[in-house]
Amino acid sequence: MRVPRRLLLGAALAAPFLRPAAAQAARRVRIIHVNDFHSRHEPVVRATGAACRANESCLGGSARLAGGVAAARAEAAAAGRAVIAVDAGDQFMGSLFYTEYRGAAELAVMKAWGCEAMTLGNHEFDNGAENLARFVAGTDFPILAANIDTRAEPALDGRFRPWWQTTRDGARIAFVGVTTPETPQLSSPGRNLRFTDPAEAAARAIAEIRANGPATVVLLSHLGIGADRRMAEQVAGIDVIIGGHSHTLLAAEPDADGPSPMLVDGRDRTVRILQTGAYGRFLGRLDLDLAMDGRIAAQGGSTAPMGAEIAEDARVAAMVAEFARPLEATRRRPVGTLPAELSNAGCRRGECALGNLVAEAMLARIPGAEIAITNGGGLRAGLPGGQVTIGDVLTVLPFGNTVAVMGLRGADVAAALEHGLSQGAGTAGRFPQVAGLRFAWDPAAPPGSRLRQVEVAQGASFAALDPGRVYRVVTNDFMRKGGDGYVMFRDRALDPYDTGPVLDEVVAEAIAAGRLAGVPEDGRIRVR
């Protein structure tokens, strides 16, 4: 997510007001942080997070990330700094490792690099409360979730804490965890969990912390960069926000979305916001000198790329190899070829060739289907040019979704598209990728009035969408049940059927058949 220029100016203006405290008063701490790892245990392409190919310059992978954490710890120790290592959520979902092990591989690696506290991302709920409960039962670190009410969910009740504190180098540091309240629309937490307002929950937790004496308060947030900035501005008492969810890279890098840390004028202090992008490509290292009252006297550190110069952790490399062994046969099986790489980078903001391919494959697979709508955020990586394997397809579509079919009136089709456009062209996972129709939209118009024109394919031509006519629409089962906020699919579907063919198999079959070898961007989604 590209950060608005005014935020960068705010960071620059705030920086001169930082002054180191007297040396005798400072407690010296380093916070190492990770977010949105998404099961990327092997190195990935820097730009897209897709699986690394031979002769490519790639970043990350669990062995390198663990090596980076170890190096950051050693560097801190040499400088006389105490260390805390934390995770801001979305360890789950995104590769064959998660599909096969449902979080066990992620847990093993987190323990190996020494995670000490974690907040939950929405994807930790993708396979329900029972699956998350198995993960939590195996942790040796606290799970922080101030805004999740678990009382009606036996599998998770009593398993989370709103906040956790530790003392390092004589400094009391407290971490508060918050998760996006949109999780019920984005994932599958079930009916028994209640996600409450994160600002109210954080304020309550901070009041409890500060009632027990001076502390440095770190919000471990899986809300996204925009919500983090609002939290910084609205909730008193936050010193640092370590964020996730929006995959925002805050770093001194050419492809960064903003500086690290981003400085925001809060209600009662300057708040430092950090985030490391996604997929383990970067590791965050925040150095703090803390005054006796917990205030930040000085800061340093960086968000560092996990490139080839980082020595791999041999134990974690062996662990990943063992986890990977059963996956190799499936991973290597070729399904077909593509004439060029298809990136997922633009699929949350407009038409993308990868979205066209997936939507066209869905449409072609279901007899009589007229319209396909799928969420751009569900395309979790890109596809390579040349030979494509089943592992490549599963990395793009790791959720195990099925193709769902329903009747839907034209007015509800328009409402679905309007909803998909409601968060604009940015990081919104709900942005619609389509087949069987074309539409124009105005991103500058207010939400709810951005859709300008919708036409449905009629053979080789197009006709205006008929609000009263019932169309045969295909989507994925997550969206059909109201996921990503598509409640019209859940509430207004006529004769829905959710257990169609598995989506990744549909796409693999289409690539294998050569029917969709190169689905170009053809203007089906236009800005007006």
Q: Encode pLDDT of 458-488 as tens digits.
A: 999 999 999 999 999 999 999 998 999 999 9
Of 47-56, 158-167, 189-198, 344-353, the one with minimum mean pLDDT is 47-56
Residue range 176-191: average pLDDT?
92
Structure confidence at residue 517 as a pLDDT band (50, 70, 90) = low
The amino acid present at 245, given as its one-letter code, is: H
172 close to 216: Cβ distance less than 8 angstroms: yes
Which residue intervals of 397-502 are DSSP H helices?
A: 410-420, 477-480, 487-492
Domains of the chain, by residue range, sit at 29-325, 334-527
- Res 383: pLDDT: 95
Of 269-273, 397-401, 467-471, 479-483, the one with minimum mean pLDDT is 397-401
CA–CA dist 79, 465 (Å, integer): 66
Cα dihedral sign for 89, 255, 63, 49? positive
CA–CA dist 484, 187 (Å, integer): 8
Structure confidence at residue 363 as a pLDDT band (50, 70, 90) = very high
pLDDT at 269 over 60: yes
**Which residues 6+ apart lie within 8 Å of 365 measured at CB?**
403, 474, 500, 501, 506, 509, 510
Tokens of 408: 């839907």
Of 18-32, 70-84, 192-206, 493-507, the one with minimum mean pLDDT is 18-32
The one-character DSSP state at 126 is: T
Tokens of 512: 């294998």
Q: Which of 117, 143, 111, 112 is nearest to 129 (CA)?
A: 143
Structure confidence at residue 7 as a pLDDT band (50, 70, 90) = very low
- ∠ Cα 133 274 14 (to 5°): 150
- Res 304: pLDDT: 98
Residue range 215-238: average pLDDT?
98
- Res 518: pLDDT: 59
Longest CA–CA separation in the chain, Å: 78
- Whether the link from the prior residue into 443 is cis, omega within 30° of 0, is no
Judge if 29-325 and 334-527 fold alike in CATH terms. no
pLDDT at 14 over 60: no
Structure confidence at residue 498 as a pLDDT band (50, 70, 90) = confident
- Res 277: pLDDT: 95
CA–CA dist 17, 11 (Å, integer): 11
Q: In the chain, what percentage of residues exceed pLDDT 90?
A: 81
Cα dist from 511 to 299, 381, 496, whole Å:
51, 16, 27
**Which residues 6+ apart lie within 8 Å of 275 measured at CB?**
35, 88, 225, 228, 242, 243, 244, 246, 248, 249, 250, 260, 284
Q: Which of 474, 476, 456 is nearest to 465 (CA)?
A: 456
Beta bridge partners of 84: 31
* Terminal-residue alpha carbon distance, the chain: 22
CA–CA dist 341, 523 (Å, integer): 19
- Res 18: pLDDT: 37
Q: Which of 54 and 283 is assigned the larger pLDDT? A: 283
**Which residues 6+ apart lie within 8 Å of 234 measured at CB?**
199, 267
Cα dist from 320 to 33, 325, 330, 344, 380, whole Å:
21, 9, 16, 26, 21
Q: Encode pLDDT of 415-451 as tens digits.
A: 999 999 998 776 679 999 999 999 999 999 999 999 9
Tokens of 395: 């990395």
Tokens of 100: 């096969």
- Res 399: pLDDT: 81
Residue range 394-421: average pLDDT?
93
29-325, what's its fold? Purple Acid Phosphatase; chain A, domain 2 (3.60.21)
Average pLDDT, the chain: 92
The one-character DSSP state at 18 is: -
Helix (H, G, I), strand (E, B) or coil at 354: helix
Residue range 47-58: average pLDDT?
81
**Which residues 6+ apart lie within 8 Å of 405 measured at CB?**
366, 369, 472, 473, 474, 496, 497, 500
Burial label for 14, CB within 10 Å (0-12, 13-18, 19+), is middle
The amino acid present at 144, given as its one-letter code, is: L
**Which residues 6+ apart lie within 8 Å of 442 measured at CB?**
450, 452, 527, 528
Burial label for 202, CB within 10 Å (0-12, 13-18, 19+), is buried
Pick the CATH number of 334-527 from 2.40.40.20, 3.30.70.2700, 3.40.50.2000, 3.90.780.10: 3.90.780.10
Helix (H, G, I), strand (E, B) or coil at 428: coil
- Res 405: pLDDT: 93
Residue range 134-147: average pLDDT?
99
Q: Which of 243 and 518 is assigned the larger pLDDT? A: 243
CA–CA dist 483, 493 (Å, integer): 14
Helix and strand totals (H; E) in the chain: 16, 27
Tokens of 490: 């859940």
Residue range 243-264: average pLDDT?
95
pLDDT at 392 over 80: yes
